Amino acid sequence: MLKKRNSGLLAFIMGIMLVAVFAFAFTACGDGGENGNGNGSGNGTGNGNGQGNGGGTDPRPSSPQTMSSKTAMQYFTDEGLTVGINVGNTLDAVINWVDSSYPAASPTNPIAVETAWGNPKANQAYFNGVKNLGFKIVRIPVTWLGHIGSAPDYKIEEAYLVRVAEVVNMAHNAGLKAFINIHHDGHHDFHGWLDIVKAASDQTVTDKYVKVWTQIAEYFKNYGDYLMFQGFNEIHDGSWKAGGSQAEYNIINDWNQKFTNAVRGTGGNNASRYLLYYGYMVSTEIATDSKFILPTDTASGKQIVGFHYYSPWEFQGAATNTAYTTADENALKTAFAAFKTKYVDNNIPVIIGENGPSRYANHSANPGYSAANAVTAKANRLNFIDLLYGTARSNGIVPFFWENGTFDASYTEGDFSLINRSNGQANSTESAEVIQRMITAINSAAPPGGGTPPAPPPGGNAVDLGSYTYGLQEDGVTANYQQAVWNLTPAQVTAAKASGAKLVLQLSSAPADTMQFVWQNPATESWWNSKDILGSTGSPLNSSVTWNAGTKTLTINLDSNTVNNYTAFTTAASLNLILAYYGSSNIDDLGITSARLE
């Protein structure tokens, strides 16, 4: 979706779319609309008059990383990928006005610039924060406008590929999975080259699409299964309306097939990479309309389907309405159920690549704004999150909120910002409440295929620690994938230090090697207080640690048997908790689906 920030150009109104902290963990000596660490300092000039944002060195893995043999559905299930978020208005941002810093840019020659729409460059603290907030996967929209050379090669400038890779690496270092795509290159207001209208009579559009994707796939070929590709974003004829014709779907289906062929054709890890497909105008109609056809694929079970859902736009997007109707609720339930029937029940994961609802705000297209209406709108926003996220989870669908980092009253839509892009924390009390409501709605919903939500902890007084980040090697920069880190809030610190407290972890796989429990006190810079809790076969080393093979629950009583220097632990003003597992190269292999203090 376009959350547009144009200096000197008024943001346009999008039509309604029923569519779709930081822990120093040193190593022990033992779409209605739409990682290396570092920000990069290069300014390479591109063949397409663009200017690069990369750091100039190759940030890619030097050899192929691990790829899963699992189907996409198995992968999503085993990795607990139930809720995601967009890194919007960043790598997708575009300068399409006259700007002295980018003299080649103009309304007819837009250039993708990371900071164009008011956000700082993506950074590691931001991604660490996203993971700590409870998200496990991000969608990183990428616009390539101004960074692609001329025909016949359409060469993508190296510096821009470097910067995209740096951002992907940051997400991975934080323990997040990620999608990248071709985003606003199909946007009519930006004179995007991926134009479905032009493609009907000009084969060069499709030729360019294939060559661009071949280069992207080749560049990212060594990345592991945590990186997924999405072919394109919101493709339409300029009207922002769903309901593509057969001729338009012929092009959409052809592009999806050619995208698949281009990625698979580069070989290596791309031969089995997970790929995401959209229909015309990212619409929900692909769940019911036979015109949309998934491509033939040489890799079995590696396909994902997506749509965007901003309906009703006046409530979710423009946020001029303070409420939604029963009809809106029923339409949502019907649409999501159709995706479950056609795709989820046939072992094809489904994501909502973008959704709201945004915050009711005093913006240029909301003349009826009032403080009283804002109170009503907030309550209904939270209720709609319960509806959308809960219904998505019960149908096996993964929602990705369109988070765009900044809000400007000149926008013609509500406030989609939730996260401070400098530190990865919620940017307001309401945003924190909204994020928590999302996570709670997902975790409380009955999972697809029947069953019940996870049972609440005994006594109802457990403290959820949320998702973990990875630790860091001794250089303080390189991720240590054998460590899971939780940076505790003040309330969590109190719970951890309480007499009789225990850390309870729900796993997908049984531990099979040594594990250490480590705590840190950032306030005193006490960084590595460790004690072995599991032996070389994964068995508990004392009675304060128990493993329930039936429920796959690891319980660690936080006492002198498990906590090194327990007295200091109980007086620490701040705490990070770490599990260091030496049974594999990545602690993700344990499949930690929840962590709580009781």
Residues identified as active-site: 234, 354
Put the strands of the sheet holding 502-506 in their side by side order. Answer: 463-464, 594-597, 502-506, 553-557, 545-548
**How far apart (Å, rounded) are the C-alpha atoms in residues 527 and 522?**
7
The answer to whether 166 touches 36, Cβ cutoff 8 Å, is yes
- Burial label, 490 (beta-carbon count in 10 A; 0-12, 13-18, 19+): exposed
- Residues 6 or more apart whose Cβ sits within 8 Å of residue 478: 472
463-464 and 397-401 strand pairing: unpaired
Tokens for 97? Answer: 């006005």
Cα separation of 174 and 374, whole Å? 35
Q: What sign has the CA pseudo-torsion 122, 229, 267, 200?
A: negative
Instruction: Give the closest residue to 230 by CA, choosing from 193, 183, 271, 184.
Output: 183
- Where is 597: in which H helix or E strand? strand 594-597
Nearest residue to 286 (alpha-carbon basis) of 254, 242, 328, 241: 242
How is residue 209 written in tokens?
């699409």
| 192-to-149, 158, 183, 199, 346 alpha-carbon distances in Å | 14, 21, 10, 12, 35
Calculate the CA 233 to chain-centre distance: 15
**What is d(CA 107, CA 9) in angstroms, rounded to the nearest whole number?**
10
- Block residue for tokens 């109609």: 285
Residues in a beta bridge with 554: 505, 547
Alpha-carbon distance 353 to 229, whole Å? 12
> Is the CB of residue 31 less than 8 Å from the CB of residue 308?
yes
| Measured distance CA(557)–CA(229) in Å, rounded | 42
183's CB contacts (< 8 A; 6+ apart) are 34, 91, 92, 141, 142, 143, 233
Report angle CA 123, 128, 131 to the nearest 5 degrees. 130
For residue 459, the one-letter residue type is: G
Angle at the Cα of 82 from the Cα atoms of 78 and 83, rounded to 5 degrees: 145
Per the listing, tokens 């209208």 go with 197
Calculate ∠ Cα 421-423-428, nearest 5°. 75
Beta sheet of 526-534, edge-to-edge order:
469-472, 479-487, 576-581, 515-521, 526-534
Q: Which amino acid is at 197?
A: V
